[in-house]
Every structure is written in C-alpha cells, then in structure tokens.
Structure 1
Amino acid sequence: MMRFMQWLHRWVSLILIIQVLLWIISAAVFSLMGHHGMSGHQYMRHVHPPILEKTAPVWPLENVRKSYPDADSIVLRSVLGQPQYQIKQEDNWVYLNARDGHIWQTDTELATRLAEASYNGPGEVTDVTAITSTDEVIDWQGNGFRVDFADDLNTRVYVDADSGQIIEHRNTLWVIADWAFRLHFMDYSGERSFNHLLIWSAGLFALWFSLSGLILLLRNIAQGDFNPRRKPTWLEQLQRDQQPIASSCGGGGTCGLCKVTFTGDQIPAITPAERSMLSAAEVQGGLRLACQHRVRPQDEVELANADVATHQLTLVNKRDLTPSLTELTFTAERAIDYAAGQFMQFKIPHKEAALTRHYSMATKPGSNQLVFTVRHMPAPTADLPPGVGSTFLCQLQPGDQVEAIGPFGDFVLSSQPQRKQVFIGGGAGIAPLRALIQAELDASQPRDCVFFYGARNSNELCYTGEFSVAEAVDYTPVLSEPAAGDNWTGPVGFVHTVAEQWLATQDVQTLDVYVCGPPPMLKATMAMLAKAGVPRDNIRFDDFGI
C-alpha cells in the first residue's frame, strides 16, 4: 500500500506541477496584456446613444401595445438613425421596425454599416459571413453576421441580425487572452467557469497530494530519515565500505537487486517491498533487501555475490542479431567465474559521472569470452536523447575497452532434478535465458526444457537456428505482429498467452519457470503464472527493465 501511495504521490505531483506552471504562465499573460489588451476592443468605437427626438417612430406606440398586450417593457432605440421597438415578453425579446411595425431585419449591407460604425481602426471590411453561432462569443446563438476587417489585429465584429446590435469585437490578442483564461480556469469549454469537473478533480488531486505527502513525511520522520545521526541502511553501509552489491533504484525497494542474507538470531521482519520482490522460500531463508533495513549491532549479513570484482573488458567481436539487438563479445583480463543467468554492471561514461547499466551474459560459463546482447534504445522523440548505455556500447569497435563489475544476480537454474524447465522471454530477455538453456543442456542429466520466445515479427527473432536444432528443447517462437512477407505459420499473439495455453495442459507443481523480457511482458507473464497456479517459489524472473 505504501509503495502504491509513493507511486501515486509522484504522478499527482507531476500533474499539479504542470498545472501550477500553466497558472504562472497564464497569470503572466494577464499581467503583460492588461485589461484593455485582453478585451478585444482595441478598435471599438465608443458611441453615445443617439437623441431619440431625431428618431421619431412612424408606427405609433398604441399599435405596439395592442399587438403585444403582455409585454413587460417596450423600449424605443435608434439603429443607425432608424427607429426600432424592443419588446420584452417574459424571457423573450421581439424587435420591430418602428416605421412600419414589421419584424426587424438586418441584411448584409446594414450589418456592414453597423460594424463600420462601431469600428475606429485602420482596416477595411474584407468579408461578411452569415452565422448562427460562434465560439468567440459566450451564450449567443441566433441569426447574425461576422464582419472581418483587414488590420494588424485581425479584428472581427459580430452583429446580431434579429436586433441589429453589435454583439462583440474580437481579435488576435483576445484569442491569446481567451486561451490564457482557459488555462487559468482549467475550463476548456470556453465558458470561463470555475464550477466544472476538471477543477473538482484538481481539487481532489491537491487534497490527495497533501494528505499522502503528510503520511509519507510522518513515515520518514518515524524512520529517522531526517535525523543526521540516523543509522544507515545496509545498502548504504555496504556501498560506503565498497562492498560488491548491486542496486538500480537508489534504495527505493523497487529493483530487488540488493539481496543479502541475514544469518543472525534476529532476522528483520519482512517489509511490503520485500513481500512483492522475494519468494516465500527466499524470505524463509533469511534473504532480505539491503535497502529496506538499517544497520543494527546484532545483525550478521552475508552478500549474495561475494566474488564480485571489477573487470576490464575488451571488445573482440560485434554483430547485429536483429534490427534492434546487437551481440557484443568481450574478453577479460582475467577469468570470470559466473553462473548462467547472472549479469555484469557496466560503467558508462556520461558527463561528469559514470552511469551503471546491467547486461546479462548470453552464454553458459566455461569460456574465456563474455557474450552480451544489447538492445538499441532509440530516441523516443526528437527532443529526447537515445539510451545512454546502449548507444555507448553499440558504438564500441573491436579493441575498445569498457569497465564492468560483477557477476551479480540470482537468476540461476534451480536444483530440483525432476522438474521440467520452462523459459518464457521476449526481446533482449533472450540473453540470460539462452545462457540458462545452454547450461541446462550441458548438465550430465539435462532436464526437459520448454522455451517460449516472443518477438514482433520474424526479423526480430534471434538464435532461432540454435534452439530449433536442440533436441532437448521444445522451442516455440511467437510473433505479435507478423509482417506480410513473413509467411508465418507459427503462433501469433502475445507470448504469455501462448504459454498460458500450454500450461493448461501441465501439472504446474512439477515446473520451474524462468521469465525475462520487457517490463509489460514480464508483468503480464507474472500475472498469468499466478492465475495458472504456478507456485511462486517455482518462478524466477529477471526484471532487466528496472
């Protein structure tokens, strides 16, 4: 629950920050433009009402009263020197020509003259358009005209045809101000109202942000995070002592890499983060995440990968496996003893400080060469850079060197002799799975292996020939989007769905399942395995998307 609260707190804060920036920007627009600049009335002539004595009606007032006995009010006004009766009946208005008593009519010529009479700018009329509504005038519908003037502000004058009245002046500055109002009021309907669903939601978001922030603050205070004399976590302590421990999330408990074993009499209680990252067998064996527990005098801790060291790797071969995967082969200055499924932490030069990126070995141990498959991470948009780690590694040439630390990880083969080994992967997840399968086939009594591998199309499949000829491996490639020229006859869809159909025919208690692939695929596969009833202790996964 606390992890979900942290996740939601971060995303809500992003939403609120964006809206605060919009408020600041729109407020700056208001300040710079001023009231007059936002009105759209820069070229609007302010005309005093004409003297009605000079606009005598021909059709007498008595006739108006006879025709409209229920009128609430009758007003005589002048429209460019022409007399007009305005009659209000309840919520309706009727406009009569005071010369003949007929319903008032505004034609294109009169609308143009009315617009010109209300305009004092430098432009000339360029277009007159009949309209029944416009987004630039709130709460107006009916018969009218839009009169466009050719000036520096693109002035538009709106005339109501039923009454002959000027509805509004609009121009480019008004459009800018209108969008500033929309952003400021969070009302994109143009009604400029504070009473709408979006602003209610923003209020609830702000309330949630405040309450969740308070809860997280109190939790941090209770944990002593703001105490300069607080005890460090085991991850912090091991990093200070330069002990070989992996971490990618900075101590947030989301990557699951900083596993250590508590061997003392008082093993710390499991945390919510560990409950989601560790299996029951690992918890029972005293395995914990170093970032989740502070150092105590009575603790006895063993590192999962005590033989980790820094190695200088030299690239000896590079080849493209698919349009998005490159295989890199390195030699090390000294032998590296690793288990199939483990990974190395590469140091990637970047600006002032080096970054770390994790890549799994793609072959079984026993050779003096290390093979990795690197997925190209292109720039998601023109404004964002491509992946730093993959770009650096894929640009290396034979003879170039790079520093790596390892081996790390516990994504290794199980020791249960009677279980069938099931591998489910996709994309660059092929690397550790290939190493695991090779190691299993190299055993004195290899167990049965089933391998489901997902790719977008046939061009994205790699090592197909190797797995297809392996007699002890039941290999099933799955394409999610086969191209027209693939001539594909195999399974189509998501790899976890195909694997689920196969699992329905198996005794899931007799299986060891290994999963590695892109984060969405990994999440979907883990959910599928739980639904299929595969015991959690029988599942091992490598989340290389962290």
Structure 2
Amino acid sequence: MSLLFSPPPSLTGLSLHPHVHFSPSMSILRRLPLNLRTTRRRRLATVSAALRQDTAVWTPAPLSEVEHAAESLFHIAIDVSDAPDLAASHTLAGQYLQLRVPDAPKPSFLAIASPPKLAAARGVFEFLVKSVAGSTAEALCALKRGDVVELSQVMGNGFDIDRIHPPENFGTVLVFATGSGISPIRSLIESGFDAGKRSDVRLYYGARNLQRMAYQDRFKDWESSGVKIVPVLSQPDENWTGESGYVQAAFSREKQISDPLTTGAVLCGQKQMTEEVTSILVADGVSADKILKNF
C-alpha cells in the first residue's frame, strides 16, 4: 500500500449488546484486578476506534484508470467529478483517505499521489497501490475501468511545508522515499514547493530494482523543477552503476549538508528508513522540527 501507518482495528466478529455503556465508572475500574482493567481499557479503545471509523462518510466513485506502474505496483485513477466537495477537500500533498472495495473485508488507507490541483481541475484522485496477496489492495488492482469503489473524506494534515519556508532560508531540502512511499512525494513535487528557488533539493528514492521503481517517466519533469533524483537500488543487476543498498546508507555515504540550520527534509516510506534517516539528520544538527512526515 502507499501509506505508512496502521488502520484502526476492525470490529468484525464483535457482538455488542444494545444496552452496553462504554463509560464505566472509575470506582468499578478500581475494584477490577490490574490485568482485567488493562484488558477492559484495551477493548474499549478498540470499540471506540472502530466506531470512529464507522462515522466516515462514504462516496461512491468509478475508476477511470487501472494500469501497471511497476512490478507489483498499480496506477489507479478515480473520477470524483461528481463529488466536488470531496475533490475540493484535497488541499495538501501528503493527505490520504480510506477506500472500500465491494466484498473486501475492510477498507484500505491510501495516500493521494496526485497534486491537489489535479482534483480541482479535472476531478480526479490518483493513487500508487502495491498489490499484496489477500488484501483490499489486491482486490482494488484487479478491478476495471468503470468499476465503482467508495471513498471516505480526505484526512490528514499532509506535509507542513510552511516549516521549511521561505526557500531562501532553507536552501537545502532532502527528500527520502522507499517503495510506494513515493506516492505522496510525487504529490509534493508536482504541487510545487519552490524547489527551483532552493540551492540543493535531492530525492533519494529506494526500490529493490528498476523494475519496481515507479514514476521513472516523470523523473525528467521533476528534475526540470529543481529536484535532483538519486535512485537507490537494494538488489540491482550487474549493469547498475548508480547508488546501491539502502537509502539511509546511500545518504550516509554522500551527506553533503552545507548548513544544517538551513536544511529541511521530507520522509515517506519504510519505518526503519524514516527512523534511521531522522537519527542521521538530527545527529548532524538538522532540527527535528524541519523533518516533515505526513502522519
């Protein structure tokens, strides 16, 4: 999938009595043994999270494109032109939503890959979806143009680019993505964050090999906007002459941070990568407040 957090737990199989109350008094909890109190609180948290999920407003929308984007990755476009309020709610790169597919057991969380201006101009949301066996994502990728799915409201605060503005004060912006984590990074680059006005903008983009690297057809346009692309392959073939290994290792070898006080970063992808890159940047003097994530 193209998102980096776990969705709320499902309520499948949980039966609720119509007169159950979810606000037990503290006096009752105090009389329960500690392990029962902990179990009860966890169960109440599960119920609460699922009930919040059930309050989502679902909008049906047809697929307008289903195409291979790379090995195991699909480009999915959804027509939201008949839902202008939903289209208008996508305002920032890095935002996401939930998607339901008929007969799938639970919704999937997906980051929106297209820039907000695409929804405003054409009424389209685009996604980069990794097909995982047995998942809602696999069911989605098996659908055809014209098939209808359901979308929740757009959620999340996206990438808070204001924290690394104005561009003259943050000349260096280091962007890191792995796998389908490139999805909201595409939205950011194509939304524009004044890359051309900054002195050093680099995208370290990690994938297993070139066959699994999406959006290669967009690299030329991204570079023309001021973003230097640094592909990093963890399992390249013998003809590969670029960076290899993991993104964090490739960055450690290169670094070249001229001034940490004028450096910002944007991260999206595998948890280990984001944690290790964050540690490297902070150790080198980059403010944690200038390291942006979309969750």
Q: TM over 0.5, yes or no?
A: yes
Gaps of 5+ in 2: 1-32
1:300-328 Cα offsets, whole Å, 9 max, x none, are xxxxxxxxx53222111121111111101
Give the Cα–Cα distance (whole angstroms) in 2 for the partners of residues 444 and 483 of structure 1: 32
In structure 2, do the counterparts of structure 1 residues 414 and 238 end up closer, same or farther at CA, with 3 Å as the change threshold?
A: farther
Q: Counterpart in 1 of 2:7? A: none
Choose the corresponding residue for 1:316, options 58, 61, 64.
Answer: 64
Give the Cα–Cα distance (whole angstroms) in 2 for the partners of residues 326 and 459 of structure 1: 13
Give the Cα–Cα distance (whole angstroms) in 2 for the partners of residues 224 and 391 of structure 1: 35
Q: Any residues of structure 2 matched to 1:482-521 within 5 Å, and which?
A: 482-484=236-238, 487-521=239-273
Whether 1:355 aligns to 2:106 is: yes
Give the Cα–Cα distance (whole angstroms) in 1 for the partners of residues 99 and 76 of structure 2: 13
1:131-159 Cα offsets, whole Å, 9 max, x none, are xxxxxxxxxxxxxxxxxxxxxxxxxxxxx
Give the Cα–Cα distance (whole angstroms) in 2 for the partners of residues 444 and 450 of structure 1: 10
Whether 1:221 aligns to 2:33 is: no
Q: Counterpart in 2 of 1:25? A: none
Q: Secondary structure at the match of 1:433?
A: helix
Give the Cα–Cα distance (whole angstroms) in 1 for the partners of residues 195 and 213 of structure 2: 29
- Displacement after TM superposition at 1:222 (Å): 7.9
Q: Secondary structure at the match of 1:509?
A: helix
- Displacement after TM superposition at 1:444 (Å): 10
Give the Cα–Cα distance (whole angstroms) in 2 for the partners of residues 317 and 238 of structure 1: 31
Choose the corresponding residue for 1:426, options 178, 190, 193.
Answer: 178
- Displacement after TM superposition at 1:456 (Å): 1.2
Q: Which amino acid aligns with 1:358?
A: F
- Displacement after TM superposition at 1:346 (Å): 0.9
1:138-191 Cα offsets, whole Å, 9 max, x none, are xxxxxxxxxxxxxxxxxxxxxxxxxxxxxxxxxxxxxxxxxxxxxxxxxxxxxx
Q: Counterpart in 2 of 1:452? A: 204
Give the Cα–Cα distance (whole angstroms) in 1 for the partners of residues 38 and 65 of structure 2: 53
Q: Secondary structure at the match of 2:114?
A: coil
1:224-246 Cα offsets, whole Å, 9 max, x none, are 839x9xxx77x9399469655xx
Q: Which amino acid aligns with 1:346?
A: L
Whether 1:341 aligns to 2:94 is: yes
- Displacement after TM superposition at 1:350 (Å): 4.5
1:20-56 Cα offsets, whole Å, 9 max, x none, are xxxxxxxxxxxxxxxxxxxxxxxxxxxxxxxxxxxxx
In structure 2, do the counterparts of structure 1 residues 446 and 325 end up closer, same or farther at CA, with 3 Å as the change threshold?
A: farther
In structure 2, do the counterparts of structure 1 residues 537 and 444 end up closer, same or farther at CA, with 3 Å as the change threshold?
A: closer
Q: Counterpart in 2 of 1:100? A: none
Q: Any residues of structure 2 matched to 1:405-484 within 5 Å, and which?
A: 405-415=152-162, 416-417=165-166, 418-419=169-170, 420-440=172-192, 447=198, 449-469=201-221, 470-471=223-224, 472-484=226-238
Q: Secondary structure at the match of 1:465?
A: helix
Q: Which amino acid aligns with 2:65?
A: N
Please report the TM-score for the alignment, with normalisation by the length of structure 1.
0.41
Q: Counterpart in 2 of 1:371? A: 126
Larger Rg: 1
Give the Cα–Cα distance (whole angstroms) in 2 for the partners of residues 220 and 508 of structure 1: 49
Q: Counterpart in 1 of 2:75? A: 327
- Displacement after TM superposition at 1:433 (Å): 0.6
In structure 2, do the counterparts of structure 1 residues 473 and 402 end up closer, same or farther at CA, with 3 Å as the change threshold?
A: same
In structure 2, do the counterparts of structure 1 residues 391 and 529 end up closer, same or farther at CA, with 3 Å as the change threshold?
A: same
User: Are 1:440 and 1:446, in contact at CA under 8 Å, matched by a contact in 2?
Assistant: no
Q: Secondary structure at the match of 2:34?
A: helix
Give the Cα–Cα distance (whole angstroms) in 1 for the partners of residues 192 and 232 of structure 2: 22
- Displacement after TM superposition at 1:476 (Å): 0.7
In structure 2, do the counterparts of structure 1 residues 238 and 393 end up closer, same or farther at CA, with 3 Å as the change threshold?
A: closer
User: Are 1:330 and 1:371, in contact at CA under 8 Å, matched by a contact in 2?
Assistant: yes
Q: Secondary structure at the match of 2:70?
A: coil
Q: Any residues of structure 2 matched to 1:280-295 within 5 Å, and which?
A: none
1:57-98 Cα offsets, whole Å, 9 max, x none, are xxxxxxxxxxxxxxxxxxxxxxxxxxxxxxxxxxxxxxxxxx
Q: Any residues of structure 2 matched to 1:46-195 within 5 Å, and which?
A: none
Give the Cα–Cα distance (whole angstroms) in 1 for the partners of residues 214 and 38 of structure 2: 51
Q: Counterpart in 1 of 2:143? A: 396
User: Are 2:204 and 2:229, in contact at CA under 8 Å, matched by a contact in 1?
Assistant: yes
In structure 2, do the counterparts of structure 1 residues 446 and 491 end up closer, same or farther at CA, with 3 Å as the change threshold?
A: same
Q: Secondary structure at the match of 1:318?
A: strand
Q: Secondary structure at the match of 2:240?
A: coil
Instruction: Return 336-345 or 444-453, whichever deviates more.
Output: 444-453
User: Are 2:95 and 2:294, in contact at CA under 8 Å, matched by a contact in 1?
Assistant: no
Q: Which amino acid aligns with 1:516?
A: C
User: Are 1:504 and 1:532, in contact at CA under 8 Å, matched by a contact in 2?
Assistant: no
Give the Cα–Cα distance (whole angstroms) in 1 for the partners of residues 93 and 195 of structure 2: 16
| Number of residue pairs aligned between Structure 1 and Structure 2 | 246
User: Are 2:101 and 2:139, in contact at CA under 8 Å, matched by a contact in 1?
Assistant: yes
1:428-483 Cα offsets, whole Å, 9 max, x none, are 00100110111125x69854532110111121222223223422111111111111
Aligned-residue sequence identity (percent) comes to 25
- Displacement after TM superposition at 1:389 (Å): 1.4
Q: Which amino acid aligns with 2:211?
A: N
Alignment RMSD (CA, Å): 3.1
Q: Counterpart in 1 of 2:23? A: none
Q: Secondary structure at the match of 1:359?
A: strand
In structure 2, do the counterparts of structure 1 residues 391 and 514 end up closer, same or farther at CA, with 3 Å as the change threshold?
A: same
Gaps of 5+ in 1: 1-216, 245-308, 378-385
User: Are 2:113 and 2:128, in contact at CA under 8 Å, matched by a contact in 1?
Assistant: yes
User: Are 2:100 and 2:151, in contact at CA under 8 Å, matched by a contact in 1?
Assistant: yes
- Displacement after TM superposition at 1:219 (Å): 7.2
